[in-house]
């Protein structure tokens, strides 16, 4: 009898300690990733169960979404993005799990983690593979949302329609399951090549490759920016970012267009005496966050005191309706990856470069479209390329590009080649130029040719156009978010 009470007490202490340990392990397990088979796919639960995070599942593509290719090619690797967005300041921890299945519920493709924020797990019973967050990828204390990027390699052969299923947790970071919100999403990918984007279509973001003005003489040098809203019933707020070519400083302006309205802005009225390039971005009229509004068209008229002039179309980028570029109330991340915005150009081409010996003066403009723009646009890190003559011979090219915009006349001094440019493209001959950044920077650009002999020579022309896009790259651009002011 004298030993029973101590034994009972020991048992109670041991059981309580085991319960606490199991509870702590359970909590840590969810923070470092859920059990396999929690995406809500056929034959699966989600974490919205009594023992996990409650019993409510929410479907809201504005808050939780999967970005996957519309079409897949067998054996090709794609970047899949799973994203949370929330304006609720109590959401301070994030999680997800995603899988890919055929119409018959069979695992499709192979997942690969790209960093410490994600991990790959398997369910041996269901024979399925999952990508999910890790402990580091739960982003404890972070508000506004979270996103993860994972590689997914499509099956080696056509297996028909593939569906991506995902469940996500928008948690309050209180270290237990109470107060958490479980969301689900799915999207599908069909076999076949992804169709290329159509050039010169309306978009949610426009880039005008050159603006300039002379504060002392706007008659000789100025730019007229033209914007059009093609939507028949919806108005739009547009944020204009004028990037100074010299130091990358950004001057912001806002304009609001009614349905079917067009307007014109003079560079000399907004940023006089400055040269550079312009971004026009559809944004939320209250918060300033970028939005999907693929109804913007634009072009510009540019004239320089040197005699160069051109009518240049705005470069257009569409934005997916399911994309959420705002990371939080103060920062937006513009992803030119083909899932959010259209992919950005990587290699550019000037399709015809006439000889300087014939009086041609060619102005080349190349702009940066990637990087961290929170405090200004970073400079280009040099340009390289190849110059071809009309006999299919080529030589290497390099240009000193140490500003956010490269803008210069193509001469023997600016176009660094061996042999010299003037010796390689001789009188009455022409060539073409291919350019890329020395790193993986996304680029846009334009060319304007001036020849003072247009009235005396049948072969002399003045003209300008945007540079051609030869290849694309997945890139991103980070911007501060500004509420619109008028």
Q: What is the pLDDT of residue 334?
A: 94
Q: Is 251 within 8 Å of 281 (Cβ atoms)?
A: no
Distance, in Å, from the CA atom of 331 to the CA atom of 38, rounded to the nearest integer, reads 31
| Domains and their CATH numbers in the chain | 32-191 (2.60.40.4060), 205-331 (2.60.290.11), 345-477 (2.60.290)
The answer to whether 171 and 47 have CB atoms below 8 angstroms apart is no
Rounded CA-CA distance 197/431 in Å is 28
Kindly tell me the sign of the dihedral angle through the C-alpha atoms of 416, 419, 421, 422: positive
Q: Please report the pLDDT score of residue 52 as a whole number.
A: 56
Compute the distance between CA of residue 143 and CA of residue 127 in angstroms, rounded to an integer. 35
Buried-state track 134-166, b at ≥16 Cβ within 10 A, e below 16: beebbbeebbbbbbbbbbbebbeeebeebbbbb
CA distance 245 to 403: 6
Of 366, 323, 33, which Cα lies nearest the Cα of 167? 33
The answer to whether 197 touches 272, Cβ cutoff 8 Å, is no
431 in Cβ contact with 353 (< 8 Å): yes
- C-alpha 414/C-alpha 248 separation (Å) is 21
Query: What's the pLDDT at 199?
Result: 47
Smallest Cα–Cα separation from 476: which of 338, 297, 329? 338
Apex 429 CA angle, 384 and 397, nearest 5? 10
- Taking phi first (over 0 means left), then psi (-120 to 50 degrees means alpha), and beta for anything else, what does residue 160 get? left
- Which residue, among 437, 347, 421, has the nearest Cα to 384 in the 3D structure? 437
Q: What is the pLDDT along the chain (486 residues), one digit of tens a residue?
A: 333 433 333 333 333 333 333 333 333 345 677 889 989 999 887 665 544 544 455 777 668 888 888 789 899 888 888 988 888 899 999 999 999 999 999 999 999 999 999 999 999 999 999 999 999 999 999 998 898 989 999 999 999 999 999 999 999 998 877 788 999 999 999 898 655 444 458 999 999 999 999 988 999 999 999 999 999 999 999 999 999 999 999 999 999 999 999 999 999 999 999 999 999 999 999 999 999 999 999 999 999 999 999 999 999 999 988 788 988 889 999 999 888 898 899 999 999 999 999 999 999 999 999 999 999 999 998 899 999 999 889 999 999 989 999 999 999 999 989 999 999 999 999 999 999 997 779 999 999 999 999 888 888 899 999 999 999 888 899 999 999 988
pLDDT for res 197 = 46
**Are β-strands 181-191 and 71-72 bridged in parallel, bridged antiparallel, or unpaired?**
parallel
Predicted local distance difference test score (pLDDT) of residue 340? 87
Q: How many helices (H) and strands (E) does the chain have?
A: 3, 32
First to last CA, the chain: 86
Q: Is 269 exposed, middle or buried (0-12, 13-18, 19+ CB in 10 A)?
A: exposed
What SS3 state is found at 12?
helix
pLDDT recorded at residue 157: 93
Measure Cα distances from 250 to 216, 243, 268, 333, 483 in Å. 22, 5, 15, 17, 15
> Cα(262)–Cα(256) distance, rounded to whole angstroms?
10
Burial readout 372-409 (b: 16 or more C-beta within 10 A, e: otherwise): ebeeebebbeebebebbbeeeeebebebebebbbbbbb
CA distance 257 to 239: 11
Residues 131, 136, 140, 141, Cα dihedral to 10°: -120
- Cα distances (angstroms) measured from residue 293 to each of 74, 138, 188, 204: 32, 31, 23, 5
List, in sequence order, every beta strand (DSSP E) within 215-338. 222-229, 236-244, 250-257, 262-266, 276-283, 296-303, 309-313, 315-317, 331-336
Predicted structure pTM score: 0.66
Query: In sequence order, what are the residues at sequence separation of 6 or more whose Cβ sits closer than 8 angstroms to the Cβ of residue 469?
Result: 345, 347, 348, 349
């Amino acid at each position: 009898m004298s030993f029973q009470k101590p034994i009972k007490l020991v048992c109670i202490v041991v059981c309580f300690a085991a319960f606490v340990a199991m509870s702590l392990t359970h909590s840590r397990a969810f923070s470092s990733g859920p059990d396999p088979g929690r995406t809500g796919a056929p034959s699966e639960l989600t974490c919205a169960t009594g023992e996990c995070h409650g019993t409510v599942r929410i479907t809201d593509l504005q808050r939780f979404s999967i970005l996957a290719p519309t079409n897949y090619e067998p054996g090709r690797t794609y970047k899949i993005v799973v994203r949370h967005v929330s304006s609720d300041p109590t959401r301070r921890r994030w999680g997800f799990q995603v899988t890919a299945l055929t119409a018959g519920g069979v695992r499709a493709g192979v997942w690969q983690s790209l960093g410490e924020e994600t991990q790959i797990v398997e369910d041996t019973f269901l024979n399925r593979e999952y990508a999910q967050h890790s402990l580091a990828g739960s982003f404890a204390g972070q508000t506004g949302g979270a996103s993860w990027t994972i590689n997914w390699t499509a099956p080696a052969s056509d297996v028909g329609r593939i569906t991506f299923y995902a469940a996500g947790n928008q948690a309050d970071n209180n270290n237990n399951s109470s107060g958490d919100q479980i969301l689900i999403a799915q999207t599908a990918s069909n076999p076949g090549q992804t169709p290329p984007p159509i050039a010169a279509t309306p978009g949610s973001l426009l880039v005008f490759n050159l603006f300039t003005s002379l504060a002392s003489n706007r008659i000789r040098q100025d730019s007229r920016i033209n914007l059009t809203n093609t939507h028949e019933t919806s108005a739009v707020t547009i944020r204009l970012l004028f990037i100074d070519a010299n130091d990358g400083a950004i001057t912001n302006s806002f304009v609001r267009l009614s349905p079917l309205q067009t307007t014109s802005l003079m560079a000399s009225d907004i940023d006089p005496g400055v040269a550079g390039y312009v971004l026009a971005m559809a944004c939320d009229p209250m918060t300033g966050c970028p939005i999907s509004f693929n109804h913007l068209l634009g072009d510009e008229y540019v004239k320089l005191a040197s005699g160069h002039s051109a009518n240049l179309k705005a470069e257009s980028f569409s934005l997916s309706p399911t994309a959420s570029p705002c990371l939080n109330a103060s920062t937006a991340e513009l992803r030119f990856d083909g899932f959010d915005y259209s992919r950005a150009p990587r290699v550019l081409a000037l399709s015809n470069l006439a000889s300087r010996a014939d009086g041609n003066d060619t102005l080349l403009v190349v702009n940066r479209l990637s990087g961290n723009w929170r405090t200004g646009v970073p400079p280009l890190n040099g340009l390289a390329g190849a110059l071809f003559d009309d006999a299919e011979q080529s030589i290497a090219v390099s240009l000193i590009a140490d500003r956010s915009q490269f803008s210069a006349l193509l001469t023997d001094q600016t176009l660094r080649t061996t042999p010299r440019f003037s010796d390689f493209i001789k009188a009455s001959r022409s060539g073409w130029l291919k350019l890329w950044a020395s790193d993986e920077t996304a680029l846009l650009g334009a060319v304007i040719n001036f020849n003072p002999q247009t009235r005396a020579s049948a072969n002399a022309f003045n003209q300008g156009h945007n540079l051609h896009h030869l290849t694309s790259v997945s890139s991103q651009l980070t911007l501060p978010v500004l509420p619109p002011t008028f």
